[in-house]
Amino acid sequence: MSHPKYETVIGLEVHAQLSTLSKVFNADSTEFGNMPNTNICVHTLAHPGTLPRLNKKVVEFGIKIGLAFGSNLARFQYFDRKNYFYPDLPKGYQTTQDKTPICRGGGLKIKLKDGVEKFINLTKIHIEEDAGKSMHLEGSSDSLVDLNRAGVPLVEIVTEPEIRSADEAYAFLTEVRKLVRYLEICDGNMEEGSMRCDVNISLRPWNESEFGKKVEVKNLNSFNNVRKAIELEYERQSKILDAGNEVLSETRTFNTVDLKTYSLRTKEDLNDYRYFPEPDLQPFTLTEEWINNVKKLMPALPNELYERFTKKYNLPDYDAGVLTDTKEIALFFDDLCQKTKHYKQASNWMMGPVKSYLNELTLAIKDFPVSIEKLAEVIELVESNKVSNTVAVQKIYPEMLKNPSKTAIQLAEEMNLIQESGSDFIKPLIESVLASMPEKVKEYKAGKKGLLGLFVGEVMKKAQGKADPKKTNLMVIEMLEG
């Protein structure tokens, strides 16, 4: 789509499952992957006479996400009942925040491939409970219901219709996932359904100020499917508009098997959920004290660390992006920078040898065997010219991984890898190399200066990594020309 005919307008509704241990209105476990219908008690099953009780942690997580997005936190809040019938909803209503969402406004900055930055505003974030899950097994006409998920806390993050392409939607979701993971309020796994997204999309002619009729696509279970759904809807809706017809305002579902969207229901049959305030739960207020206490628990956020890495440590944008991708790596790197001032070298080590080791063994940084101090030492060893970078990466580092208790310098000494800076060591090597190539020396002296690299290379080989390349270079020139 290099020159699309229409402008795409997108608003996202992202559901993030909050990683509290228990459900939002009762003490049932929220653990994922248990046998169906085991995380359920009379409360989840909505037996008559049971009463909800708000999990305070859920509100704390709501405050955290609001602070992270820079939203306005509602001081006065209550829950509403959203009434509808569905087999996976035993109460007959979903408890949600309709009139008093915990957050209004705020947003986040996305970075696009061409380096352009854009701020996406949020409409609101509200707290609600998840429903159970209906399952339809292959070859069976029965529907099965698993209520383990019923009552698991969610926040729904709603954006303004400010997203303009599949790339922007992708970038926004990536940032949201990064943020909730940094905050440790949601694991962000789309495959396990802990982050889900509905896409609202409409098209309009360029220069048109009114929005077109929107279609909502549900059931998207990966970032790639979000992209795919937007592309498919562009195709489908643009054909309708090209033919001079109106797009029908409807809800469509994304079929993850054939990767197409299908109509579920039209918006014309407007749902009437008969919202009213939940009488069994007290309204509550966020006190300044509560908000301030949560502020104290806030971790460093990805954009703050990015700023620090680019401004204080002077790293290129690329490095800062890679290093802030996960909080664990970012904090490890930040600690490393307290032990060495060679920030760019430290970044190279993180993005190169450290990451490849972790990737190879699919380990998390918390399981990295070498301590931050020892990693800083090997960087210092290179920077003080005691070993070359190649020797450090290829010879010392693998030994450090095997012997995490030894220091880099101990290993370098044991393996006899310390660079000999003295001329006494290098001089005889140069002499023997030059003596072995009299023809080349003649050519060099006759003006073929490019041969210098050859001589130096030979000397380095003989020195088995123990000669400092810069110094060797100078000494070879001196001996050839002196």
Contacts with ligand ADP by CB under 6 A lie at 9-13, 158-161, 200-202, 211, 214
Query: Which residue of this chain has its Cβ atom nearest to ligand ADP in the complex?
Result: 11
| Cα 13 from chain centroid (whole Å) | 18
d(C-alpha 347, C-alpha 358), whole Å: 15
Minimum Å gap between C-beta 213 and ligand ADP is 7
Candidates 190, 264, 194, 181; CA nearest to 221 is 190
Minimum Å gap between C-beta 206 and ligand ADP is 15
Nearer to ligand ADP, 96 or 200 (CB): 200
Nearer to ligand ADP, 37 or 249 (CB): 249
Minimum Å gap between C-beta 84 and ligand ADP is 14
d(C-alpha 310, C-alpha 114), whole Å: 18
Minimum Å gap between C-beta 218 and ligand ADP is 12
d(C-alpha 180, C-alpha 172), whole Å: 12
Nearer to ligand ADP, 172 or 368 (CB): 172
How would you classify residue 37: left for phi > 0, otherwise alpha for psi between -120 and 50, otherwise beta? left
Token pair 């918006």: residue: 267
Judge contact between 360 and 335, C-beta under 8 A. no
Cβ atoms within 10 Å of 144's Cβ, excluding its own: 13
Minimum Å gap between C-beta 341 and ligand ADP is 46
Nearer to ligand ADP, 63 or 203 (CB): 203
d(C-alpha 435, C-alpha 273), whole Å: 93
Minimum Å gap between C-beta 393 and ligand ADP is 48
H or E stretch covering 179: helix 166-183
Nearer to ligand ADP, 121 or 326 (CB): 121
DSSP structural state of residue 407: -
Nearer to ligand ADP, 150 or 215 (CB): 215
